[in-house]
Chains A and B, each alone.
Chain A
Amino acid sequence: MSSYDIAIIGGGIVGCALARQLSRYSPRVAVFEKGPDVSSGTSKANSGVIHSGINSRPGTLKAQFCVQGNTLFSSLANELGFHLRWVGKYVIAKNDKERKELERLQQVGQRNGVNGLEIHEKELIAKKEPNVTCEAGLWVPTAGIVLPYEVTIALAENAAKNGVHFHLLTTVTGIKKRQNFFSIKTPKKEFSAKVVINAAGINCNDIYSMVESSEFTIYPCRGEYLILDKIYHSLLKSMIYPVPDRELGVLGVHITPTIEGNIILGPSAEYINKLADTRTTHHTMKLLLKEAQDIIPSLPHKGTIAAYAGVRCKIASPEEGGMADFQIIESPEYQGMIHLLGIESPGLTAAPALANHVVDLISHDVPLKPNDQFQPCQPKKTRFADMSPSQQHDLIKQDKRWGRVICRCEHVTEAEVLQALHNPLGAHSISAVKYRCRAGMGRCQGGFCTQHIIRLMQEELGLDVADIILKSEKSNMFTGKTREIHS
């Protein structure tokens, strides 16, 4: 039995932020993730927005961690080398009723300590965002964008370099309290830990009910998105939000520029029965475009290069409506078991602050001596596409693999694909490559590069084609070889 001091269940943004924060200290920490990579669930499928804190009720954990988390992101981005841009956002009003809502949001934001909020009239907005139609807008300068999977992966990889063990493709199937530790069952083997953190996101109820006798319910709420081609990037500079739907407890279909120059439309909000049902639907894909075109009429009808969906982990039932607060529950029965429940939006923004809070809680159970070898920084990944021709030339002279372009749409080279394949987590799926170096994320969606990535996976990792997976344990890409070759 492998023993740890602290076990984190779930390799999403929360689990990885916590793992990275704990790696500053000496205890042995492990993360258990059922997917073949971190950021396999809702953490990869959201808007990628660093929120300011205007949407959460003052006094809630959401408001507190969102505002705190927001202030932590700049230094985190510097340390870990992920992309972050403070593009700001407008919440727009189309009529007087909605304008009142802007004033309410401004007040909420001010009470939460959000700075710089201003209501702009349509003339000013027309200058800053000429494609947007509205009457007025609340300008939120402290809202930013990231690539949520890049943040999660950066946190995890830094944690791994600082000693945290990541057990991928390892579903936790049971937790038992022994005398002074928990035993954690997985299909691979059994582990032990003194402290267990339930950061399982949308699956938090599964873990909760393994330990607790009480019950609670998650109401999964799906959000679908469309991604538009980069050629439309000049349609907007900042994020554009409608006034939020308070009854449904969601922010509404917004238009978000991405770090990479794409535009994201979404999310929808639909309560569903199955936790992991991340399908996209005909009806909603049409609706997203329509609602987004209400905000920016010049959005193209046929500019979509991909669609995706994530599932919100809602604690408030559809009947109750509204947004319930995050729940951080220290098990009443078993000391050392902490549940993080209902971490929906603004979970990405809140994660660093939430992690600090949970570390405080853990310190009551496990002594946290500093890890002398802790390395907070990791270099920003060098991207071929972002370099000047002379920089590119110099790199190719050092290593000719920088001169072989694998992903033609995004100009990703073999050197970058190899770096992604040899990641410190040992994540070896097609998606793991895609989320680390962007190969396959362009307009052809892997049409030209998949075959080359497969070839590199075979050559570099010695994988059999039949074992290559897309994004989950049984998402095998191929049935095997077409024909066996006998010499």
Chain B
Amino acid sequence: MTSTHVDVAVIGGGPAGLAAASMAKQQGVEKVVIYDRNDWMGGILFQCIHDGFGVEELGTSMTGTEYAEMYVHQAVADGVDLVQGAMVLSLQPNRRLIVVHTKGIEEIQAKAIILAMGCRERTRWSCMLPGTRPSGIYTAGVAQALINVYNIMPGKDVIILGSGDVGLIMARRLKFEGATVHGVVELLPYASGLPRNVVQCLDDYDIPLYLNHTITDIEGSERLTQVTIAQMTEKGECVPGSEKIIPCDTVLLSLGLIPENELSKQVGIQLDPLTGGPKVSERYETSSPGIFACGNCLQVYDTVDMLAIDAKEVGKQAALFTQSKQPSSQTTGINLQAGDGVQYIVPQKITRPGKIRCTLRVKKPQKNVILKATSKDKEIITKKQRFVNPANMISFSVPISEKMLDEAKVVEVVVL
């Protein structure tokens, strides 16, 4: 076993890890190393050959691969060490990592760690999808990798369950490659993915979106042969007579993403059940001192642009920590709580005064609502919103005064 000392160790070389690492380096940190388990850097963007990346951040539209390449070049130019094909096996107390790669097992002692492990896809069993278990059932992300990276066609007659962004993108992608896409089936009364993806990937290609529907049965003893879809009531019961059999050979699942935090759990980092990611302070520090979190393992972002902007801030905070310019932030502070109408809010804790940047997601689509932050029944901010949608993250700032930090324990944010 070899052992190495680094200043900032970044777990995961997707856009979040790359952006954070580059920024840490730019802050003057000497040794910043990214460990990634793939044989490439860029994470999931490597398989995203569609465009639309970079619009919010840079005002120009790139493919995912181009966007990733830009960040890889930046990281290299900044002097970040990139270690590919390296998987972190365990995260141990006192910021120690055990990493495996083809040269052996390496023990790494870091001054600060940035978690950037990304997320994984929900499987068929997360929604207990009944039926047989034939071949031909893939998560949307796996299908995307198969088609775009490995030149493998998963099937020709496809139905998609769940209207997450990857599912919408894949509906169009499969159509491009000559498959018949019978439709996208969504249990909710609205699409989970971005409105622009519904338009550009479904509407423009006449692919139907079945809202308030789900798959109730899967058939096929070897390869998938058909599915049954049905309309569902709000209580989750099947509307009698609405069942429809759709012959197909492939089901893609786009049921949502789960932040990857198996490593976080190993060192007892507190997770927020609402986000699935670590609870963090406004410096993106987790409950474990010197361990920071960014990207989709913190919260599932809807665009990589927003993700990268936040990740850069994380890189800056990790750098400050290693330079001993800021002590750990987790001791005291205000808890930021998701109130009515709010699915979750990040950060979960505020430990210093100032304008604190926050992001939240609402529970359901609504028009003409008010976003309100209150502390001890006093309104801190109110913001009118013409239209809110769970698919679109909302970012805003909350001004926190010294006095509030001394007096308040909780700030609640509602969208009503």
Contact = CB atoms under 8 A, between A and B. Distances in A.
Interface of A: 231, 276-282, 285-286, 302, 304-308, 389-390, 392-393, 396-397, 400-401, 403-405, 408-409, 411, 444-448, 450-451, 454-455, 465, 469-483, 485
A407 B101 CA distance: 14
Contact of A396 (B103, B131, B134, B135): B103
A454 B152 contact: yes
B112 to A, nearest CB: 23
Nearest to B154: A478
Contacts of A393: 1, 104-105
Contacts of A285: 128, 130
Given A396-B100, A474-B223, A447 B120 contact: yes
B153 A478 contact: yes
Contact of B125 (A305, A411, A470, A482): A305
B130 A308 contact: no
Interface stretch (B13-21, B64-72, B141-149, B362-370): B141-149
A391 to B, nearest CB: 9
B120 A279 contact: no
A474 to B, nearest CB: 4
Given A278-B133, A279-B133, 15 more contacts: A278-B132, A280-B131, A304-B125, A389-B1, A389-B89, A390-B105, A396-B102, A447-B121, A454-B150, A455-B150, A474-B222, A475-B134, A475-B223, A479-B156, A481-B151
B69 to A, nearest CB: 21
A473 B1 contact: no
B36 to A, nearest CB: 12
B132 A279 contact: yes
14 contacts: A280-B130, A389-B89, A393-B104, A396-B100, A401-B102, A405-B100, A445-B125, A447-B123, A465-B152, A477-B136, A478-B152, A479-B153, A481-B151, A483-B151
Contacts of B123: 305-306, 444-445, 447
B153 A447 contact: no
B216 interface: yes
Contacts of B134: 470, 475
A451 B135 contact: no
The 9 closest A-B pairs by CB, nearest first: A470-B135, A400-B102, A403-B102, A475-B222, A393-B105, A474-B222, A475-B135, A282-B130, A393-B104
Given A278-B132, A451-B142, A408 B37 contact: yes
A170 to B, nearest CB: 16
B128 A282 contact: yes
A396 B104 contact: yes
B146 A478 contact: yes
Contacts of A409: 262
B163 interface: no
Nearest to A405: B87
Contact of B103 (A308, A403, A485): A403
Residue of A306, A307, A482 contacting most chain B CB atoms (<10 Å): A482
Contacts of A444: 120-121, 123
A272 B107 CA distance: 55
A191 B406 CA distance: 87
Contact of A392 (B100, B135, B146, B262): B100
B139 interface: yes
B221 interface: yes
B85 interface: yes
A383 B130 CA distance: 33
Contact of A405 (B37, B139, B142, B155): B37
Contacts of A302: 126
B221 A472 contact: yes
A245 B282 CA distance: 57
Q: Which of B120, B125, B147 has the most CB of A within 10 A?
A: B125
Contacts of B141: 447
B6 interface: no
A450 B87 CA distance: 17
A392 B85 CA distance: 16
Nearest to B176: A482
B377 interface: no
B139 A447 contact: yes
Interface string B258-288: 0000100100000000000000000000000
A478 B218 CA distance: 18
A306 B125 contact: yes
B153 A279 contact: no
A472 B87 contact: no
A435 to B, nearest CB: 14
A390 B3 CA distance: 12
B204 interface: no
B62 interface: no
Contact of B150 (A231, A277, A451): A451
Contact of A390 (B1, B125, B135, B147): B1
Contacts of B130: 279-282, 285
Contacts of B87: 405, 408
Contacts of B405: none
Contacts of B402: none
B147 A482 contact: yes
A476 B133 contact: no
Contacts of A482: 146-147, 151-153, 177
B188 interface: no
Contact of B221 (A276, A396, A476): A276
B98 A389 contact: yes
Contacts of B132: 277-279
Given A411-B89, A447-B141, A479 B125 contact: no
A445 to B, nearest CB: 5
Contacts of A306: 123, 125
Contacts of B153: 478-482
A306 B125 CA distance: 6
A286 B130 CA distance: 11
Nearest to B89: A411
Q: Which of A305, A393, A481, A483 has the most CB of B within 10 A?
A: A393
Given A305-B123, A445-B123, A451-B150, A479 B105 contact: no
A451 B44 CA distance: 14
Contacts of A396: 100, 102-105
Contacts of B265: 231
B152 A481 contact: yes
Contacts of A389: 1, 89, 98, 105, 107
Contacts of A475: 134-135, 222-223
